[in-house]
Amino acid sequence: MKNEILSNLDNPGKLERLYREDKLTFKREFSALYPELKDNLLITFWKERLAPASEEISWGSSKDLLFVILVSLVAGIIAKVPAMFQIDEEWFYPRNIGFIIFPALSAYFAWKNNLSAGKILGIVGTMLAGLIFINSLPGIVDESDTLLLSCIHLGLFLWSILGFAFVGQIQNDDEKRLRYLKYNGDLVVITTLIVIAGIIMTGITIGLFSLIGLKIEKFYFEYVVVFGLPAAPIVGTYLIQANPQLVGKVSPVIAKIFSPLVLVMLVIYLIAMIYSGKDPYNDREFLLVFNALLIGVMAIIFFSVAETSRTKNQVEIWILLLLSVVTIVVNGIALSAILFRISEWGITPNRAAVLGGNVLILVNLLLVAVNLFKAMSKKGDITGVGKAIAFYLPIYCVWTVVVTFIFPLAFGFK
């Protein structure tokens, strides 16, 4: 390797190929050669390129920290509203849990992206409309299908508004929309780590105080945990925005590991389903689990594409294509089961919502599979897959609006 580097000092393309073929050896031999060749401009460039990224965590400016602390406190106060105003928790949280986190995160990105006053007013106005609407609906979630559907899809609607604050515009911007998906994957990783650390701290704290005869469980959960849980994704967002390298290498690894594992699991599951005699046509609970599986696998595909939108690794493309095809099969089974149940027992809010969602997912998966096939057969580029996903995200947003705001009225609050 050393001799090859020396003989190709004026050949940037060959140096790049050597680096890609064996990165560790290239770095080691290059480091040994650098003192002799440091006057060479190309070598200086490679020195900077191979320099390890700073391991220090950036905490941003004091202004950034203050803003994050303030929005975290506001989120915690919203979570404490039932206790402060003696509101029934079973009534409050299903309707308003999304308003604990999403407004805070939207405010953070609106501030960081310097959104115009008009866009900020649009975000605030849309969230207020959702807040007023969901809290005006009659009934409780255990007795009203349309209310339950509205509460679930309101969270997805607020997630869409957060996406607008992240992207900063309504116009199609494929790269920013894919970055938003990547941000969500990174946020899941960092928030999980923060929550695990919080659980460990909670156990140690309660255990230490119990040793001296003080029972602090009630106070700790009512104030520390209630404020800490909403703060976790907010602090996590701040950390990954200030330190892109923090989990930037973890999410792609997770995507690469889980994509083939999920593919194998899905194939085995479909075979086991046939032998078990279970089917989603006559078993409602099984159909719900089947659809939850479908959404989870689709999310893995989308996050994997977001992580590999710039790579040309054929193995990864093959895995994603096979996973998309198997997921289309799962979607087809679920869709046929829903149509069967509608033909047998009629339309209901739940069946209508699941039918619409499955049709949207099927079309999106077909677009993704077609573009993956083009990339695999060298008739297209992997970026086409990202564009198919990015283009389709607003369509999901429109569907959340329909289910959240129109379904309760269309079905008479059933």
Query: Are 164 and 393 a contacting pair, CB within 8 Å?
Result: no
Query: Are 330 and 294 a contacting pair, CB within 8 Å?
Result: yes
DSSP string for residues in 113-162: TT--HHHHHHHHHHHHHHHHHHHHS-S-TTT-HHHHHHHHHHHHHHHHHH
Q: How far apart are CA 376 and CA 98, in angstroms?
A: 39
Task: Measure Cα distances from 408 to 27, 153, 191, 193 in Å.
Answer: 62, 12, 33, 38
Q: How far apart are CA 74 and CA 77, in angstroms?
A: 5
Q: How far apart are CA 358 and CA 332, in angstroms?
A: 9
Q: Six-digit token pair at 315?
A: 């193995």
Q: Six-digit token pair at 202?
A: 């909670």
pLDDT at 52: 60
Q: Six-digit token pair at 312?
A: 């040309």
Query: Are 307 and 185 a contacting pair, CB within 8 Å?
Result: yes
Q: Is the dihedral of CA 271, 275, 279, 283 positive or negative?
A: negative
The identity of residue 20, as a single letter, is: R
The region, left, alpha or beta by phi > 0 then psi within -120 to 50, assigned to residue 41 is alpha
Spans of the chain, pLDDT less than 50: none
pLDDT at 54: 54
How far is C-alpha 330 from the geometric centre of its chain's CA atoms? 22
Closest CA to 413 of 149, 126, 94, 98: 149
pTM to 2 decimal places = 0.84
Residues of the chain above pLDDT 90, percent: 53
The identity of residue 194, as a single letter, is: I
Calculate the average pLDDT of the chain: 87
SS3 333: helix
Contacts of 410 (CB under 8 A, 6+ apart): none
How far is C-alpha 237 from the geometric centre of its chain's CA atoms? 12
- Reported as a single tens digit per residue, the pLDDT across 369-405 is 999 999 888 887 777 888 888 889 999 999 999 999 9
pLDDT at 39: 67
